[in-house]
Structure 1
Amino acid sequence: MAMIQVRLPPDATLGDALRLLGLSDDDADAGFGLVPVAPGRHVLRVTDEAARRVSHELAEVFADPRIEPDDSS
């Protein structure tokens, strides 16, 4: 999965983001949803394939590495 940051109005929905980016419901992690991170900026999780298809003029793509507990102790 990848994280995508987009500029959207404060009341935007996940569906709004998907329409803007030309993605389908299957491309996004609906459980993660659309998360506001700053005024006018939201993030969503999408499949790696969807991240490759997204216009970089509309969104910034970031890695979403898996975070696991440290079991070294």
Structure 2
Amino acid sequence: MTQGPTVLVTVTLPAGATLTDALRRYGLTSDEVDEAYGLVPVDPAQGLYALLVSEEAAARITGGPGVSGPYANPPIEPYGPPRSGPGSDDGGR
């Protein structure tokens, strides 16, 4: 599991690829990749997958064949004030 800042990269791999395949193909170690995030299919028909990697790993592999990025990985948070009333998580209170 990577420590410190991470970024997203997209990689090209054969359909049905695994995280182990990605590590091997791009010379990454498990310490450089967020294994909990895993290898996420973006467009598996085209062999396009996303990886969350350390900034150092991204700098090393970006620009190589089949790698795009790095892309920011901002936290996803709710937008706007909390909702209240029917349909909200507060039970309509």
TM-score for both structures, normalised by structure 2: 0.68
User: Comparing both chains, which one has the higher relative contact order based on Cα–Cα distances under 8 Å and sequence gaps of 6 or more?
Assistant: 1
Shift of 1:69: 3.6
Partner of 2:59: 52
Q: Name whichever structure is richer in strand by fraction.
A: 1
Partner of 1:5: 10
Shift of 1:21: 1.1
Mark the runs of 5 or more structure 1 residues left unpaired by the alignment.
none
Q: Aligned runs of 1:19-30 on 2, under 5 Å?
A: 19-30=24-35
Partner of 1:65: 74
Residue 35 (structure 1) aligned with residue 44 (structure 2): no
Report which of the two structures shows the higher radius of gyration computed on alpha carbons. 2
Over the residues paired in the alignment, what is the CA RMSD in angstroms? Answer: 1.4
Mark the runs of 5 or more structure 2 residues left unpaired by the alignment.
1-5, 82-93
Identity value in percent: 43
